[in-house]
Amino acid sequence: MKLVNKHIDKHGTGHVTLRPEDDEDMWHLYNLIQEGDSVRAPAIRRVQKISSTGSVDSSRLKLNLTIKVTRIEFSSAARGASSDDTPGESPDSAAGQQPTTAALQLTGPVVVENQHVRLGAFHTLDIEVQRDVRIEKFEGWDSVASARVQEAIIPGKGAEVAAVVCGEGTAAFCLLSQHMTLVTHRLSVPIPRKAGSSSQHEKGLSKFYGTLFDSFIRHVPYANVGLKAIVLASPGWVRDSVYDYIVQEASRRGDKILQKALKDKVVRVHISSPHVHSLVEVLKSPEIVSQLKETKFAREGIVLDKFFKMLGVDEMRAWYGPDHVVLAADRSAIGTLLISDDLFRASNPVTRKKYVALVEAVQQKGGEVVIFSSMHESGQQLNQLTGIAAILTFPLDVEVVEAEEKQAAEAEQTQDSEATDPDG
């Protein structure tokens, strides 16, 4: 994303103009824009004119419209591609989809009148790449939103890691970038088990490898220089057989680029189950950690793993749930705060403010804050745990703290829980 213009005063009011460039930028915008914000973007609108004689003239006009957002819709490419993964192979779905497939739509009434559109007329903006978007925040720019802009405008991104999560007869192709995991394709080829006859099993296997190779060519941007690694992950030895097959097939076809990519980029990682959620295991495996140490998503994986480990070692130092985490923050106990971007997208500004305040409080006290992207597997898992968790610097007993809190300010606590309930 490119920052075209930024004007924010010290109170946080002002506007930012951004130019989205790829799928991930759409995701950033989705996280930046909240209900109530004013957004100005190019739009195409059908405008009707009634002439003096009464004839109706309808034309499509390209306009810049400013709307006050009332509804935000985001859909990633994967949603469309994975909904049709019927049993059996479907190699043609999602074929040839490249750069932008994510879509962001903003709906709301027009707030700046112009010559063609009345004030208050509704419009749905389709946010497109390479078209500038000006955002003015209704509640002002808070620290989390500003940080998000800073993060979004770092150049040089796109898919950084391609991962193929496979099991015997199944495979899921994923592309990981800083803030997103896209499942670009899934395939499943039925492989008869050995109980029948051995030849059917072998036949099924070779069909599986063949299909997998075709999809690999199509869905893994192996020639892309920005791609740091291609991960082949599976339980058992499937990844080795798959790798051998791909290498063999590449040399048979004499595909030099593929051969080079395979040699330089492929990392084989063991995982315990052939489901996409095992990507978390991939991200914390030593092979990957050493290679992607500084990337955001690897960091997320490591922190989440640390939280689970802490939960095993010392339950009193691993807390989760909004109420509990807030209590821990009040006691300056938070060493690392894990928070999902889902929570900042809360439509209720009060809720958002609460989380922003929490993040700021933790940062002030020298704690680390990791904002998880819910488009990543680790973020999804954090979302399952209420979306917020913390690793404490010293052990605190939840029950003791709750009792303290009850005694101290019973009234305040009830108010607090009421505020968090609606978005659960």
**Chain positions contacting another protein, by CB under 8 A:** 76, 78-79, 82-83, 85-88, 172, 174, 181, 183, 186, 190, 192-198, 200-202, 235-237, 241, 272-273, 275-277, 280-281, 308-309, 311-312, 315, 320, 374-377, 379-381, 383-386, 398
Q: How far is the CB of 84 from another protein (least distance, A)?
A: 10
- Residue 37 or 281: the one with the smaller Cβ distance to another protein is 281
- Residue 137 or 376: the one with the smaller Cβ distance to another protein is 376
- Residue 105 or 363: the one with the smaller Cβ distance to another protein is 105
For tokens 């063949």, the residue is: 210
Q: How far is the CB of 274 from another protein (least distance, A)?
A: 9
- Residue 133 or 187: the one with the smaller Cβ distance to another protein is 187
Angle subtended by helix axes 296-313 and 377-384, to nearest 10 = 40
Reduced to 3 states, what is the DSSP secondary structure of residue 17? strand
Q: How far is the CB of 388 from another protein (least distance, A)?
A: 11
CA distance 238 to 73: 39
Q: How far is the CB of 363 from another protein (least distance, A)?
A: 25
Q: How far is the CB of 309 from another protein (least distance, A)?
A: 7
Q: How far is the CB of 76 from another protein (least distance, A)?
A: 6
Of the candidates 421, 286, 401, 271, the one whose C-alpha atom is nearest the C-alpha of residue 348 is 421
Q: What are the DSSP calls for 348-365, one per residue?
A: -HHHHHHHHHHHHHHHHT
Q: How far is the CB of 279 from another protein (least distance, A)?
A: 8
For tokens 């950084």, the residue is: 160
Rg, the chain, Cα only: 25
- Residue 39 or 187: the one with the smaller Cβ distance to another protein is 187
- Residue 45 or 270: the one with the smaller Cβ distance to another protein is 270
Extract the runs of DSSP E, i.e. beta strands, from 242-289.
266-270
- Residue 126 or 240: the one with the smaller Cβ distance to another protein is 240
CA distance 178 to 295: 7
Of the candidates 102, 112, 109, the one whose C-alpha atom is nearest the C-alpha of residue 125 is 109
Extract the runs of DSSP E, i.e. beta strands, from 189-340.
229-234, 266-270, 318-320, 334-340
Structure tokens at 315: 């339950």
CA distance 32 to 133: 12
